[in-house]
Structure 1
């Protein structure tokens, strides 16, 4: 048995959104997941943690201080003790400088974040900088040290930042995954509840399918929003990020969105229902499921085919079971030597008495064509519209017609029989 399968598009869309959220959370300055503090390092060793100022976010501010410290170390013989002075750019801040090079401005916000007074915090950071610079100078007191120390410090800094990022991100990732797991269970429970409620209120499989899927994915959407919040993204930032990428997403997910909207329209307008036997293009079979991405059809030879909803909605669909009854016909070709009215009555009676043929509407016989050597009759009858009943009834009607015509001593056509006319030459 052959099966045409594709990945579940709604689940794929969920994971795509999660990847987008993760990428947005890891974006640098301007992202909603920007850290509130960052670590200032020298030679890979942490000095202190610093918050944002009026111009820079924590991470760029920390990198700026690190670049200033690296510039100071380029001339180790000129390094002096850190000097604290009033800031020229911030009225209430204190500036820490070394060898005439300003390193950072300690702001009242920094003091409040560390629970210290401005003067005490400035002196503490200045002392940390002095000790770190002294250690860094000692590590560079030889040619080998001047070569090895920058390489070693770069590696140590990279691993330290990686560990710091992991410590900050992993708890949020776990929290987001836990939220998604909880909402997955909630969505499954809501879907089961909707199935029971709809089955009691309305005995319609198509309506039940629509309500179940809409409620399931609505809970999923709510879960993604809550997971984004647990990950550290603000709803406004998330909306802005999605707005900025909406054009690219529109092109990338054009077919998915088209199938999704078409699925909603099919479930709402209901051109066919679960169990109907339909024809879409070259595919014919029974409708097993109507999902938001594709319609699942079981063909008569047992194969399962998924037809995209966009194709289903825009194609010509033939619903063989939209009505409970269906008209069938059998074509009979008889010779010109018969009594047309009498034989027509025989064929009509034979078709009407066949098992599976409905009493009303009654069977009928029509002469539809005059062939070169045969009369063509169209025997029409009505039966159940389902294919299994229709095919079986048509077969029984053919058997009944053959038996009735033989009983009426009507010669049936024989393609192997040929009339041979002998021409006798004249003497």
Structure 2
């Protein structure tokens, strides 16, 4: 499977999972839920006031199941006006209110309150009579309860699948469409701004902002296709922002740090930087991590939060860089002549700049030799810097030999045996034998 297709599939699945896991309270409140008795559908109810459709359906089911605990007390349903609003009707059985039929219910079913109340009362009467007949004996009641639980579970599962699967497919299609649009916009931004903006970092910032802006728009459209109310989604995110903030702390930190790096630009694409113990060439600056390629060819992804808060050494921020070579000279050497030879040899090396000029300094007077440091300037790129430094060392050694200026050759050399413990033991034995002979 194509890598792009895998990424699209993973992003689509992540989008749907985020919708299902983190935003259940944001579902549009206009949904209707089926009221079931013994697993069979009785009628569908919607939202009433602050009571959502699911809670309202469960309330009606609990009241009918309580009536079934005493089948002899079940009476024909009655339709009565409510005390609060004469336009609404309440269906009661043996004085117990089962459900209130509102004008909103009538509008959802495209009928009047009285007609809908009559239909619901007939459905309640029919289903209660059938359910009570199944519970005449203790064994029949047990079987009916088990069967009702199974049928209710499967009925709600099928009903949820009928509602959710088309919405999930629509959300996946919308996600795929906006992935294609975001990819096209990023490609178009690259083509346009490559001829307008010469700075690769600015081009990268524009591309990523445009790319993720399209993705955010696509996520909003996918949420709407899934059946979520955008305003309710915003409210749900506001209520869970504290928990999400703790859960996504590192991700958000990397994201914000990436934006700040792209805006403030402490380094650019192509720069050679040192972050902590990692040194390499900057290849990409994403909103999550900065991609470095080390000098031995390995790719390192450094989180942007670590990059932004760490001390960064930018070796190529300036076009030139100073290098230095230290060498040891004996006290019997002609120091002025040696300095002159070293300076001319370093200056004649390819890659060493004439300005700033080379400087030769006596760095240290050691016990056996003099430490001389030759400082020169060259290109700041690591490949040129390392190659030039190596050539300077070779040129200095060759020039000193040609001028017959000797390098240090100490007379005293320290040799350390490999098996030090055995040598120490042998010396102790030898010393003890010598004392015994005396």
Normalised by the size of structure 2, how large is the TM-score? 0.86
What CA distance in whole angstroms lies between the structure 2 residues aligned with 1:286 and 1:24? Answer: 39
Counterpart contact for 1:274–1:288, Cα < 8 Å: yes
Aligned length: 405
**Cα deviations by residue, 1:371-395 (Å, 9 ceiling, x for unpaired):** 2332221112222111111111111
What CA distance in whole angstroms lies between the structure 2 residues aligned with 1:182 and 1:14? Answer: 11
Give, in angstroms, the shift of residue 261 of structure 1: 1.6
What CA distance in whole angstroms lies between the structure 2 residues aligned with 1:128 and 1:186? Answer: 51
Give, in angstroms, the shift of residue 234 of structure 1: 1.9
| Partner of residue 395 from structure 2, selected from 392, 400, 425 | 400
Give, in angstroms, the shift of residue 24 of structure 1: 5.0
**Cα deviations by residue, 1:291-329 (Å, 9 ceiling, x for unpaired):** 112211111122221222222122221111111221211
**Distance 1:368-1:87 versus aligned 2 partners, 3 A rule:** closer
Counterpart contact for 1:37–1:51, Cα < 8 Å: yes
What CA distance in whole angstroms lies between the structure 2 residues aligned with 1:354 and 1:343? Answer: 17
What CA distance in whole angstroms lies between the structure 2 residues aligned with 1:223 and 1:64? Answer: 38
| Partner of residue 21 from structure 1, selected from 19, 22, 32 | 19
Give, in angstroms, the shift of residue 214 of structure 1: 1.2
Within the alignment, does 1:241 sit opposite 2:228 as a pair? no
Counterpart contact for 2:272–2:315, Cα < 8 Å: yes
User: What residue number does 1:365 align with?
Assistant: 360
What CA distance in whole angstroms lies between the structure 2 residues aligned with 1:282 and 1:25? Answer: 41
User: What residue number does 2:139 align with?
Assistant: 144
User: What residue number does 1:115 align with?
Assistant: 110
Give, in angstroms, the shift of residue 134 of structure 1: 2.0
What CA distance in whole angstroms lies between the structure 2 residues aligned with 1:133 and 1:74? Answer: 11
What CA distance in whole angstroms lies between the structure 1 residues aligned with 2:399 and 2:412? Answer: 22
Within the alignment, does 1:157 sit opposite 2:176 as a pair? no
User: What residue number does 1:90 align with?
Assistant: 85
| Partner of residue 51 from structure 1, selected from 46, 67, 81 | 46
Counterpart contact for 1:25–1:34, Cα < 8 Å: no
Deviates more, 1:337-346 or 1:323-332: 337-346
Q: Which stretches of structure 1, 4 residues or more, deviate above 4 A after TM superposition?
A: 11-18
Normalised by the size of structure 1, how large is the TM-score? 0.88
User: What residue number does 2:258 align with?
Assistant: 263
Deviates more, 1:187-196 or 1:87-96: 87-96
What CA distance in whole angstroms lies between the structure 2 residues aligned with 1:188 and 1:264? Answer: 20
Counterpart contact for 2:12–2:175, Cα < 8 Å: no
Q: How does 1:239-318 map to 2 (within 5 A)?
A: 239-318=234-313
**Cα deviations by residue, 1:139-184 (Å, 9 ceiling, x for unpaired):** 1232321111011101101111111112112222222222111111
What CA distance in whole angstroms lies between the structure 1 residues aligned with 2:14 and 2:242? Answer: 15
What CA distance in whole angstroms lies between the structure 2 residues aligned with 1:286 and 1:273? Answer: 10
Give, in angstroms, the shift of residue 190 of structure 1: 0.9
User: What residue number does 1:205 align with?
Assistant: 200
Counterpart contact for 2:272–2:314, Cα < 8 Å: yes
User: What residue number does 1:3 align with?
Assistant: none
User: What residue number does 1:6 align with?
Assistant: none
Give, in angstroms, the shift of residue 360 of structure 1: 2.6
**Distance 1:374-1:290 versus aligned 2 partners, 3 A rule:** same
Counterpart contact for 1:35–1:59, Cα < 8 Å: no
**Distance 1:13-1:271 versus aligned 2 partners, 3 A rule:** farther
What CA distance in whole angstroms lies between the structure 2 residues aligned with 1:159 and 1:94? Answer: 31
